[in-house]
Chains A and B, each alone.
Chain A
Amino acid sequence: MENLIALLVAAPLLGAAVLLCGGRRLDAVGHWIGVLMSSASFVFGVILFADLLGKDAEHRTLMQHLFSWVPVEGFQADVAFRLDQLSVTFVLLITGVGSLIHLYSVGYMEHDERRRRFFGYLNLFLAAMLLLVLADNYLLLYVGWEGVGLASYLLIGFWQHKPSAATAAKKAFLVNRVGDMGLSIAIMLMFTTFGTFAFGPVLSHTGDTSEGKLTAIGLMLLLAACGKSAQVPLQSWLGDAMEGPTPVSALIHAATMVTAGVYLIVRSGAIFNAAPDAQLAVTVVGAVTLLFGAIVGCAKDDIKKALAGSTMSQIGYMVLAAGLGPIGYVFAIMHLVTHGFFKAGLFLGAGSVMHGMNDEVDMRKYGGLRKYMPVTFITFGLGYLAIIGFPGLSGFFSKDKIIEAAFAKGGTEGWILGTCALLGAAITAFYMTRVMLMTFFGEERWKNQPTRSPEAPSAEPAAEHHGEHAEPHPHESPKVMTIPMIVLAVGSVFGGAFFSIGDRFLHWLEPVTGHSEGDSPLSAAAVTGGTMVCLLIGVGIAWAMYGRRPVPAVAPRGSLLTRAARRDLLQDDFNHVVLVRGGEHLTRSLVYVDHTLVDGVVNGTAASVGGLSGRMRKLQNGFARSYAVSMFGGAAILIAATLLMRAV
């Protein structure tokens, strides 16, 4: 059974290789090869999952040692896989949601002539992500980590003919590099501290290591997680990543990429447990990102960017939960899985809307679409209810648990974190209701809209051709797109209840992550009640603002906060001023120092050597007799020295 683990990674990898090397002759069937490979991986995942289910809770770990990667004395790195409850959860999420997105893409990318390559990249993305979650040591995890970065770069910049897409891909890659630096430093620190990278030895020896070192490793891991999971301060790439095709956004936000950071933190739980300072930093990052993403999501008129803000916020919840330690690990992963369902559903729904609206992304030009695309409306609506935490749906269970866990942290911290989480829930309800109302309800603003508002962000290229002057004709998407949406909607409706009833998910993951209840100052019912109140407030405000009043087709100027939020809370401006300008100044001064000081010293040395040589050259007049004089004088000096030595 262990031998199947490698196949999990190998199937999509093979698919990527075949699709990318196969050339045009595979154009006709390429997309089905991609779907087949990801589905095969999903089937392997299910088989392995069934196998694990059949074992005792304590023995649900499968190891596969493939080969010795770096067999050097004192530096042992193996290509080995570990499949335990945590990994298999991720595997199912990645391959399951990933396969649905593959299927959806068959329809979505139908008119793109580079569809085969797109599926190659998608498969590569899956393979890298699977390698990441299956690796048995940090070095192999790093390979998957970088593979995810590469695949995301290729996919975000898939429409590379658009400068904005190329720039967004570059930005995502560069911001991710900062996080990757953190991971590589963390791995180096691990090597110097533990002498190995393997999960087993590293995570079991945290007890006998100084807290300072563990804190350093933890902070570096947090930096890595911030980069991949788009947490403050490395969040800026996520909004721009919407330049990629919508299935890519779905894949990045639901199944792969942004979940990698949460996985890393939960997997390294032993390190964080032993380093409370690093843990605190994780919770702070999570809480800040939670609110940050939610606020950004409120202001965006671009449906995908509003969802991106939402993702940032929801990942913030997971990171916050992961930072709570054993209280929150399980709920972080649970929310990750449920979020995987409803966020994928929401993105696919958004893609479906765009598909029907000539790739228009500005929500101010939607409205009243529920009549034209009923399936999309229903699935999107279910995803919406799930994400705001409507009672009974999956978001309700998982988010509620995280809020409870935040309060259970105890003390002032618990109150602050819990309040943040509650506030986040309210804002989530607000912005998601806003998206819902602007898209599917209200008057049909897309009629008689020949021009685009200047505020609207640049849309996908098709809009350039026919979206500008032609009136859109909204229509339902083909079956190949709606079926995945329906499946995901089912998952988002029942996933949470399935996991939570009888604490199934908790018992499943507990052997890996551990669990403790904490001491909550509030009862579970009180927290749930509070959440409900927040939810109602958020929905109510949104209804008051966008439901009762008509939505203006051109965005009003808005308050200072709105304008800041439209600009992603000035994150790019901050980066520009602090990092780019600072870097420019540093570079300029370094160049100045280089030109004056370094070059001065170098050129000065060269000039003085040259001058000295010019003078020395005159001694080399070529006359043997001159040289003889030197020799003779030298002999005289030698005799003098000898005599002096004797005299002394």
Chain B
Amino acid sequence: MNPVNYLYLSALLFTIGATGVLIRRNAIVVFMCIELMLNACNLAFVTFSRMHGNLDGQIIAFFTMVVAAAEVVVGLAIIVSLFRSRHSASVDDASLMKL
């Protein structure tokens, strides 16, 4: 098997995650889909690292994880405060930016 298949898997997961972001209304699930996309990217980085024979790709994946962790913390805090004020975690409810 050619390791390129990892990249295909990564692309597939990324697309599924992106579609999920677009389809789901629940902010928490949307967030999970974003995490899925990040993970798919990480897989690609790791595969590239193997492809090029150096560890830089893994470093990038590592930083992605750290940033993702920070993002999750803030994002979930936003969801919690949103839920507190609106009693709903639906992203469609926050549609005030229109006439």
> What is the interface of chain A, defined by CB distance below 8 A to chain B?
617, 620-625, 628-629, 632
Interface string of B30-45 (1 = CB under 8 A from A): 0000000000000000
B95: A residues at CB distance < 8 A: 621-624
A617: B residues at CB distance < 8 A: 99
> What is the interface of chain B, defined by CB distance below 8 A to chain A?
18, 21-23, 25, 91-92, 94-99
Instruction: Give Cα A632 to B33, complex, Å.
Output: 14
A632: B residues at CB distance < 8 A: 18, 22
Please name the residue on chain A nearest to B25 by beta carbon: A625
The 8 Å CB contact of B96, one of A622, A625, A628, A629, is A622
**Do the beta carbons of A625 and B92 come within 8 Å of each other?**
yes
CB B12 to nearest CB in A, in angstroms, measures 15
The 8 Å CB contact of A628, one of B22, B97, B98, B99, is B22
The 8 Å CB contact of B22, one of A621, A622, A625, is A625
A621: B residues at CB distance < 8 A: 95, 98
B21: A residues at CB distance < 8 A: 625, 628
**Do the beta carbons of A622 and B97 come within 8 Å of each other?**
yes
- Specify which of A621, A624, A629, A632 lies most central, judged by the most chain B CB atoms within 10 Å of its CB: A624
CB A250 to nearest CB in B, in angstroms, measures 75
Instruction: Give Cα A622 to B95, complex, Å.
Output: 5
Instruction: Give Cα A622 to B90, complex, Å.
Output: 13
Please name the residue on chain A nearest to B94 by beta carbon: A624
CB B19 to nearest CB in A, in angstroms, measures 8
Please name the residue on chain B nearest to A628 by beta carbon: B22
Known: A621-B95, A625-B23. 10 other contacts (CB 8 A): A617-B99, A621-B98, A622-B95, A622-B97, A623-B95, A624-B91, A624-B95, A625-B21, A625-B22, A632-B18
Please name the residue on chain A nearest to B93 by beta carbon: A623
CB B18 to nearest CB in A, in angstroms, measures 6
- Can you list the 7 inter-chain pairs with the closest CB atoms, starting with the nearest? A622-B98, A622-B95, A622-B97, A623-B95, A624-B91, A629-B22, A623-B92
Instruction: Give Cα A629 to B97, complex, Å.
Output: 17
Instruction: Give Cα A625 to B91, complex, Å.
Output: 8
Q: What are 28 residue pairs bridging A and B, where the CB atoms are less than 8 Å apart in the complex?
A: A617-B99, A620-B97, A620-B98, A620-B99, A621-B95, A621-B98, A622-B95, A622-B96, A622-B97, A622-B98, A623-B91, A623-B92, A623-B95, A624-B91, A624-B92, A624-B94, A624-B95, A625-B21, A625-B22, A625-B23, A625-B25, A625-B91, A625-B92, A628-B21, A628-B22, A629-B22, A632-B18, A632-B22
Instruction: Give Cα A643 to B52, complex, Å.
Output: 23
Instruction: Give Cα A624 to B22, complex, Å.
Output: 9
B22: A residues at CB distance < 8 A: 625, 628-629, 632
A623: B residues at CB distance < 8 A: 91-92, 95
A622: B residues at CB distance < 8 A: 95-98
Instruction: Give Cα A620 to B98, complex, Å.
Output: 6
Instruction: Give Cα A629 to B91, complex, Å.
Output: 14
CB B66 to nearest CB in A, in angstroms, measures 25
A624: B residues at CB distance < 8 A: 91-92, 94-95
CB B89 to nearest CB in A, in angstroms, measures 13
CB A632 to nearest CB in B, in angstroms, measures 6
Instruction: Give Cα A621 to B92, complex, Å.
Output: 10
B23: A residues at CB distance < 8 A: 625
